[in-house]
Every structure is written in structure tokens, then in C-alpha cells.
Amino acid sequence: MTTFNVKINGRGYGPTEVRDELTMNDYLREYLGLTGTKISCGAAQCLSCAVIVDNPDGTSYTSPTCIVAAVRFNGKSIRTVEGHARNGELSVLQKAFIEHFAFQCGYCTAGFLNEAQVLLERLAKKRVPRADLEKTIAEALDGHLCRCTGYIKYHEAVRDVILADPQRYLV
């Protein structure tokens, strides 16, 4: 058993004593009831379980939760799909996903949303040429599996969000 602390969507949790074998996915879903983070393959192959991890330097990245121990997140700050909307209003990305009918069953959506959010934050810090945008989006979303809508709608939704604010994201 190990005691750990974690910040999730701006709120601190812990100290909590958990089994060393407990995955972060089980902690989120079974301990906290944050079921927006999905569990699918259980082997980090579909990334539906991905959450955002915020680094102290302001950068962010996504991490699968199904194969990583909860205690490995000790002291970290993460965001889940439940943390995107503000005061009941969906984020720009969430709205774009809906407008593009990007998801059908929705099981992969939280992972795609988190990955796309990290991409936006990365581009806001380091813009890319317009010519590299398609490749940049494709590489960012690579690894996330969707069995319903065929990826292109997610891609188009993310592209629209970026093109709507070119000075922020593009060179």
C-alpha cells in the first residue's frame, strides 16, 4: 500500500492509501466515480483512457491510465474529460466535435478530446506552418482508435478549431 496525492481538474485528492497494483483508471472510475475516462483495451493500445498531465512548466501531455499505477501520479496535476467545460459551457473543441458529428458511440471521445487539447496547447506555445498542419494533427491523434466514425471527422474538427484562430496556432 502506498499513500499518494493527485490534483484532478484543479481539485486536490488525498492523501489516499491505495494498493500499488491499482491502475489510475480504476482509481478514477471506481474510487472517484469519474467515469468519463474510459477503459477499453486495457493495454494502452486504444488510448480511450488517456488523460492530460500538466507539467509544472506549463506544458502538458497525455497519458494512458489503464497500464499506469495510480501511485505513479503522486504529486501530479491531471485533467480528465470532466474538466473541459467551464460553468456548464462546452469547450471550443467539444463544440467542434459535436458540430462535425465526430463521435458515434463516444467511447473514444474523451481520449481524442484530451489529445486534441494537448495539441492546441502545444501549438499555442510553438506554432507550425500551415503546410504542416495536416501532418501535425495526424501525428498528434495517431494511436487513438475509433471504430465508429473513421477518424476523419475528429481530424476535421481539430483542424477547424485551429484554422479559426490562425494567429494563435499557425506561422
Partner 1 sequence: MLAELHAGVLLGVAALLATMISAQAVSDVPAESLARADSFAAIGDTAARSAALFTEAAKVLTHPRCMNCHPAGDRPRQGDVRGLHQPPVDRGEDGFGLPALRCPICHQQANFDPGRVPGDPAWHLAPREMGWEGKTVGQICAQIKDPARNGGRSLDDIVHHIGTDHLVGWAWAPGAGRQSAPGTQAQEGALLDEWVKTGAACPN
Task: Please identify, using beta-carbon distances, which residue of 13 and 61 lies nearer to partner 1.
Answer: 61
Which residues, other chains included, contact 95 with Cβ-Cβ below 8 Å and sequence gap of 6+?
A: none
Total chain residues near partner 1 (CB under 8 A) = 26
Grid cell in block for residue 161: 478549431
Cα–Cα distance for residue pair 92/119, rounded to 1 Å: 13
Contacts (CB under 8 A) with partner 1, residues 95-154 = 115, 118-119, 122, 139-143
Nearest of 103, 9, 109 to residue 52 by alpha carbon: 9
What H or E segment, with its residue span, contains residue 169? helix 166-169
- By the 10 Å C-beta count (0-12 exposed, 13-18 middle, 19+ buried), 81 is classed as buried
Q: Which stretch binds partner 1 (CB under 8 A): 36-44, 84-92, 94-102, 157-165?
A: 36-44
Residue 23 interacting with partner 1 (CB under 8 A)? yes
Task: Please identify, using beta-carbon distances, which residue of 67 and 170 lies nearer to partner 1.
Answer: 67
Question: CB 105 → partner 1: shortest distance, Å?
Answer: 20
Residue 43 interacting with partner 1 (CB under 8 A)? yes
Residue 7 interacting with partner 1 (CB under 8 A)? no
Which residues, other chains included, contact 131 with Cβ-Cβ below 8 Å and sequence gap of 6+?
A: none
Would you tell me which residues interact with partner 1 (CB under 8 A)?
Answer: 21, 23, 42-47, 61-64, 66-69, 72, 115, 118-119, 122, 139-143
